[in-house]
Homo-oligomer: A and B are copies of this chain.
Amino acid sequence: MKSDKISEAVVRRLPVYLRFLNDLQKREISTVSSQELGQKLDLNPAQIRKDLAYFGDFGRKGIGYDVSYLIEKIRHILKLDQQINVALVGAGNLGHALSNYNAYLKDTMKITAIFDAYEPKVGQQINSLTVQPMSQLGDTIRAQGIRIGIITVPDSEAQNVADILVDSGIEAILNFAPVILKTPSNIRIHAADFTTDLQSLAYYLHDGKDEAEDEQQ
């Protein structure tokens, strides 16, 4: 296939494929079919083939997909074959936790700067990074070529921080604050809001006997 505009649903599945392929590689499995992938990832095999076919002919009929080759291709599609620097704004507990994932993200993505507005936090060491004052944000982003920002500040500051990130030339934002950020349309925003997740989970709790039952299938 190749080309066409790719839907967000497709893009969001690519990292899931990648994760599992990495796993297969670690286990020294060199080939995998869409069928096997589908089974392990709870997805329809046709969907997986279609997703991959948007980007090229990566498989071999009768055989399946070569694990190493597919990893390489997906990494390229996701731009994970180059280093992407990430800035973390908000050195609270959550920011702290996320900065630990540096090891996991490996070479490809990396939090390379941490900022906080709160005076006493500035200068603290978090996993070998020094917390910088907000006034440094623009300079550091430009100096380090940082392209993605993670927002872990309190709700009330999130929009303000987003504005500053955008002004500093950031291209995408991962927002942990439970607010809808307003930014120019060329800035990509993903909401990573754990309270929304939890609250929608509650909907699916089994009802007590006193409730109309909505959820048989």
Residues of chain A having any CB pair with chain B under 8 Å: 3, 5-6, 8, 11-12, 14-16, 18-20, 40-42, 77-80, 84, 86, 92-94, 96-98, 100-101, 104-105, 109, 147-148, 150, 171-172, 174, 178-180, 186, 188, 190, 192, 194-206, 214, 217
Contacts and interface: CB of A to CB of B under 8 A. Distances in A.
A98 B194 contact: yes
B104 A195 contact: yes
Nearest to A185: B217
8 contacts: A5-B214, A15-B195, A18-B199, A98-B194, A101-B194, A171-B206, A174-B197, A174-B201
Contacts of A6: 214
Contact of A171 (B80, B199, B205): B205
Given A42-B180, A96-B97, A188 B204 contact: yes
Contacts of A105: 195, 198
Among A84, A200, A214, find the residue whose CB has the most chain B CB atoms closer than 10 A. Answer: A200
A78 to B, nearest CB: 5
A40 B182 CA distance: 9
A148 B202 contact: yes
A16 B204 CA distance: 17
